[in-house]
A and B are shown apart, each in its own frame.
Chain A
Amino acid sequence: MNSLLQSPMPLVRADGEGYTYAGEWLDGFADRPELPLPVRVRLARLGERYAPKKLSAAQRDLLASPMAERDATRQPSAELDGFEANAQEMERAFEDGVYAELTAEQQAWVADPSSHPSLAEDARYPLTLGQLHLLTGASERQLRHWSDEGLIPSHRAGAHRRYYSVAVARALLLADTPPQQVATLITLRKGGNHARRLWALIGEESASAVNAGR
């Protein structure tokens, strides 16, 4: 079993007749006192749902414990919430045409950062600022600036910023864009008088022509 794909807790089998845990395929949901307490609590919860008549007295006690309540009311980590937010950002990036602008090689890096020659084999999302720098070629200072200006999405995990696939896709395009154009982009995003003047100079016709040629 690939260790990344190992569940820390027992999982119900698809047929509901038992569970899988630590590479084993087991029948029923009987208590196993040799296992850590959180695992036993989860087993008791599975038993309560799929074989309630077979619960032991020890399992009923486990279900009445505060640990069972805590197990049923877990909250997602910042890292997991980051993935969910990234899925929404992915939709916007797709609508904006970001992925269509990437080369096939860049698309492969977005899909799997570990395929980039500068990153380690075990590089996985979310990426650190240093990993994003290695992958895109943009300096860490540039990346922080783009992140502060809202050009690339980042998500906080404690004191650190973490980057997901949409950040990689957008940063790869920005790294290939001349700095003056990035500065113009930031001005346009900020709005106000300078942005209004730029929009006036671009003109509606030119903007439509760019969109039509996409």
Chain B
Amino acid sequence: MSDDPWMPKRARLVWEHGTRVKFHYTEHEHPVRILAEQVFRVPERPGSVGHGLYVTTVQPRSMPDEKLLDLLFARGRPVIAVEGVVVLRDDAFAWKRYSHRSYVHSASPGDVLDLSLALVGVGVRRRGNWLWSDGIYLPPT
């Protein structure tokens, strides 16, 4: 169930319905901008296994923040680094699995990835509550 006050009652999040998606966690205002522009710039600094777009199959609220931070980032980050999430289709890119539940789409630093055909929606956690964009929840039947 969701704590989003805008979400219709009895609606379910798409991944609770069994649809496979990938999650890219980031700071909470960042997904709002990504939703508006639907592109992603590959960071200059490499992650655990080089440059690219890093995603996971770990669903929001399915594990404590500290555990999620340990899973996602080779170097430490504060909790605000996982207060936003970009939800992509499972087949959005050619993912390479590099650890349990972690995947990367390798690309050169500075590359711009077009998310417009793969973006399902975004979520942001404000004051402890997750809010979702269209597409993240299934309409009640």
Pair A83/B33 contact, Cβ less than 8 Å: yes
CA distance A133 to B137 in the complex (A): 39
Set of chain A residues within 8 Å of B87, measured between Cβ atoms: 14
Pair B132/A5 contact, Cβ less than 8 Å: yes
Set of chain A residues within 8 Å of B104, measured between Cβ atoms: none
Pair A88/B44 contact, Cβ less than 8 Å: yes
User: If A5-B133, A71-B116, A84-B41 touch, does A125 touch B122 (CB 8 Å cutoff)?
Assistant: no
Q: Which residue of A lies closest to B7 (CB)?
A: A1
- Which single member of B21, B29, B44, B134 contacts A83 (CB below 8 Å)? B29
The stretch that binds A, out of B55-63, B74-82, B93-101, is: B74-82
CB under 8 Å from chain B, chain A span 75-125 = 75-77, 79-81, 83-84, 86-88, 90-91, 94-95, 99, 107, 110-112, 115, 124-125
Tell me how many residue pairs across A and B have CB atoms closer than 8 Å: 147
Pair B19/A72 contact, Cβ less than 8 Å: no
Total contacting residues, chain A, CB less than 8 A? 51
B interface residues with partner A (beta carbon < 8 Å): 4, 6, 14-15, 19, 21, 26-30, 32-41, 43-45, 73, 75-81, 83, 87, 89, 91, 112, 114, 116-122, 124, 126-127, 131-135, 138-139
16 residue pairs of the A-B complex, CB under 8 angstroms, read: A11-B121, A11-B134, A23-B134, A25-B134, A45-B117, A75-B112, A80-B39, A80-B41, A83-B27, A83-B33, A84-B43, A88-B44, A94-B76, A94-B77, A124-B29, A165-B80
A interface residues with partner B (beta carbon < 8 Å): 1-2, 4-9, 11-16, 20-23, 25, 42, 45-46, 49, 71-77, 79-81, 83-84, 86-88, 90-91, 94-95, 99, 107, 110-112, 115, 124-125, 165
